[in-house]
Amino acid sequence: MAQYISASNGLEIHRLGKQYANAQSAGGLIQVLEDINLSVSPGQFVSIVGASGCGKSTLLRLILGLDPDYQGQLLLDGRPIRDTGPERGIVFQDHRLFPWLTVEQNIGVGLRNAAWNKKQKQDLIAEHVALVGLEGFEKSYPHQISGGMAQRVAIARGLVNRPRVLLLDEPFGALDALTRSRLQVELQRIWQKEKITMLLVTHDVDEAVFLGDQVVVMTPHPGRIHRIVPVALPRPRSRSDLNYLRIRDDVMSDFTDQASEQTPKAATCASAN
């Protein structure tokens, strides 16, 4: 399990809100995120699960520092996030590799602004090629490797600059089921080895529970946290473990239980997927 240390160390999200301009809304604004509160300790793995349009990508954009226009507080190690920085890396659903660069050159893109010398950069790239299991493919171009391998390159590029936090926005969403479950196991191993904070956004409940120390369930319109489910299971995890299945079914019930309740269910926009 990850270490839980002082709350001011790590990522603190307090009463976070986000509005976008929207011509169809009263006042010309639409509230996309509202009253998001979350504490992420250094080294924790947090999964954020919710249907399309819940504001998951918006939340990661704010944490990455791409948009300083938000309400509430967003603090990393006690400092407000207002801009991008080398202590935060991101992996997207589409790998966004440069087609004219090799695997190792693409990973090296993550070191563009780093202060390391050439030898140190080469060593870091080699270390991260090994970390994601791509030895032998250093000189390959993106069109010569599979989708799963390209996502491994994207993960290596996100990690090579040694960020404190790695943000993952549906990183396996475009992969087939088998590759996806293999890469989930790989990501678990990488996270255990690197011991950095990871925030994974997904609409796959199974993936969220398999990987997370906690699973944040979001509801839409506006995007809010419905509940946070702790997953205190040892790693490496097994998908046939009864405790795992119990937690997975519990989280899944937020998306499938249509019983009338006062609390809006996460499922309300699940059909949008």
Ligand X SMILES: Nc1ncnc2c1ncn2[C@@H]1O[C@H](COP(=O)(O)OP(=O)(O)O)[C@@H](O)[C@H]1O
Q: Is 137 in contact with 149 (CB distance < 8 Å)?
A: yes
Cβ atoms within 10 A of the Cβ of 66, count? Answer: 12
Among 2, 13, 16, 32, binds ligand X (CB under 6 A): 32
Q: Is 39 in the site for Mg ion (CB under 5 A)?
A: no
Among 16, 31, 56, 166, binds ligand X (CB under 6 A): 56
Among 37, 39, 52, 105, binds ligand X (CB under 6 A): 52
- Please, which residue, 57 or 105, has the CB nearer to Mg ion? 57
List % helix, strand, coil for the chain (3-state, nearest 5). Answer: 35, 25, 40
CA distances from 214 to 1, 40, 68, 69, 180 (A): 11, 9, 26, 27, 20
Q: Is 226 in the site for ligand X (CB under 6 A)?
A: no
184 is in the binding site of which of ligand X, Mg ion, none (Cβ under 5 to 8 A by kind)? none
Give how far the C-alpha of residue 270 lies from the chain's centroid of Cα atoms, to the nearest Å: 19
CA pair distance 243, 240, nearest whole angstrom: 9
At 8 the three-state DSSP class reads coil
Among 17, 35, 37, 53, binds ligand X (CB under 6 A): 53
Q: Residue 54 carries which DSSP code?
A: S
CA pair distance 148, 237, nearest whole angstrom: 21
Task: Write down the least CB distance from residue 57 to Mg ion, Å.
Answer: 3
Q: Is 57 in the site for Mg ion (CB under 5 A)?
A: yes
244 is in the binding site of which of ligand X, Mg ion, none (Cβ under 5 to 8 A by kind)? none
Task: Write down the least CB distance from residue 92 to Mg ion, Å.
Answer: 9
- Cβ burial of 213 (10 Å; 0-12, 13-18, 19+) is buried
Contact range with ligand X by CB under 6 A, out of 49-57, 84-92, 116-124, 173-181: 49-57
Task: Write down the least CB distance from residue 55 to ligand X, Å.
Answer: 4
CA pair distance 165, 18, nearest whole angstrom: 21
Contact range with ligand X by CB under 6 A, out of 46-54, 71-79, 160-168, 253-261: 46-54
Contact range with Mg ion by CB under 5 A, out of 29-37, 52-60, 65-73, 107-115: 52-60
Q: Is 57 in the site for ligand X (CB under 6 A)?
A: yes
Applying CB under 6 A, which residues contact ligand X?
Answer: 20, 32, 50, 52-58
The footprint of Mg ion (CB under 5 A) covers 57
